[in-house]
Amino acid sequence: MKRSVLFGLFVTASLLASPSFAAEKDLCSVNLQTIDNAQTQVPQEMLEQVADSVKQAQADHAKGTKEGTQACIDETNETIKMIKDANKGGK
């Protein structure tokens, strides 16, 4: 009985942990899509800066490494924050 309970807990923990690893890999893609969807909200003077940031993030993502994925996530998070701040009046 104890073995089956422990096995059940182990399987449950494994299943719950799996999506979190996959989510990290997809966060870069989700952030890039968020930026793409927000293109109409980007102030004219920031368009070139946002485009450069997206190119850098895509290059980092294309590396296919954990470091590249993290760099992509960091870059896109900064860009999303920058867009949000610009729409708030730079606050």
37 CB-side CA count, 13 A: 8
Reported as a single tens digit per residue, the pLDDT across 31-48 is 999 999 998 888 899 999
Question: Greater confidence, 86 or 17?
Answer: 86
* In contact, 28 and 73? CB cutoff 8 Å: yes
Sole residue written with tokens 């870069």: 28
* In contact, 61 and 69? CB cutoff 8 Å: yes
Helical H runs in 1-91?
Answer: 2-37, 47-62, 66-87
Sole residue written with tokens 């890039």: 32
pTM for the whole thing?
0.69
Reported as a single tens digit per residue, the pLDDT across 8-23 is 444 444 445 444 445 5
* In contact, 54 and 60? CB cutoff 8 Å: no
